[in-house]
């Protein structure tokens, strides 16, 4: 019990430190108006901290601040991270300003994977499965594996959607900077993305293959 209590204390202490550091980064980045991207990156980190702390009431205003510029400048990596966190919170039933539940989480996870694909071919793998050299996200597959049968149903729904869905989030963007055309099948969109960025040439598993591996 004593060891467990110390771990909880250490975790809370680390989250408090992270909260302070992110706020310091935001303050420094906002001094220069040209550092919008870095300020929003820190804000996204702060949102993850607030989620871990259970401070859900603080999230909507932070999210709105990130969302506005992320949409304006098409920061698809930021939007992918936001939708991933929104999906986690909605599935937990703790969304303070948007829908809760399985269906809401599924929609946010779908959008997270689309935005990630629009950014580059590496980010969908991070959002879905995680990568040792990747960003500190809570990937979808490990999250689902902790949720038993409901998590399995989420993975099945994501697999089926991926096989039939299109690169479409419901809001057309004719001025997009993404090299992936809007409206095309997600399987084709992923093929294009992976061919454009082969990385080190090692064999890649598609999103569908990654999901089917754990089902």
Question: Contacts from 123-131 at CB under 8 Å and sequence distance 24+?
Answer: 123/77, 123/80, 124/190, 124/193, 124/207, 125/204, 125/210, 127/80, 127/84, 128/207, 128/210, 128/211, 129/210
Are 167 and 128 contained in the same domain?
Answer: yes
Concatenate the DSSP letters of all residues of 40-52 into one string. HHHHHHHHHHHHH
Are 107 and 69 contained in the same domain?
Answer: no
Are 64 and 82 contained in the same domain?
Answer: no
Under-50 pLDDT residues of the chain: 1-10
* Domain extent at residue 53: 1-73
**CB distance 63 to 43 below 8 Å:** no
Are 89 and 44 contained in the same domain?
Answer: no
* pLDDT single digits (tens) 24-51: 665 665 655 556 788 778 888 889 889 9
Are 2 and 89 contained in the same domain?
Answer: no
Are 91 and 3 contained in the same domain?
Answer: no
Are 60 and 105 contained in the same domain?
Answer: no
Q: So what's the pLDDT on residue 204? A: 85
Are 112 and 215 contained in the same domain?
Answer: yes
Are 89 and 22 contained in the same domain?
Answer: no
Q: So what's the pLDDT on residue 137? A: 79
Last residue of a domain, one of 25, 46, 73: 73
- pTM score of the predicted model: 0.87
């Amino acid at each position: 019990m004593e060891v467990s209590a110390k771990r909880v204390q250490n975790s809370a202490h680390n989250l408090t430190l992270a909260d302070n550091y992110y706020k310091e980064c935001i303050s420094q980045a906002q001094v220069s108006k040209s550092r919008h991207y870095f300020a929003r990156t820190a804000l996204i980190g702060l949102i993850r901290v607030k989620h871990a702390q259970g401070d859900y009431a603080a999230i909507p205003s932070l999210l709105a601040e990130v969302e506005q510029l992320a949409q304006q400048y098409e920061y698809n990596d930021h939007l992918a991270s936001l939708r991933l966190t929104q999906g986690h919170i909605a599935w937990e039933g703790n969304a303070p300003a948007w829908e809760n539940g399985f269906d809401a989480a599924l929609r946010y996870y779908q959008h997270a994977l689309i935005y990630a694909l629009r950014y580059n071919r590496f980010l969908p793998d991070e959002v879905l499965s995680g990568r040792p050299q990747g960003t500190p996200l809570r990937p979808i597959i490990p999250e689902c594996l902790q949720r038993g049968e409901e998590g399995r149903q989420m993975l099945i729904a994501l697999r089926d959607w991926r096989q039939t869905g299109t690169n479409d989030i419901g809001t057309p963007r004719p001025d997009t900077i993404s090299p992936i055309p809007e409206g095309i099948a997600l399987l084709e969109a992923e093929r294009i993305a992976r061919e454009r960025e082969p990385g080190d040439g090692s064999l890649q598993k598609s999103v569908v293959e990654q999901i089917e591996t754990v089902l």
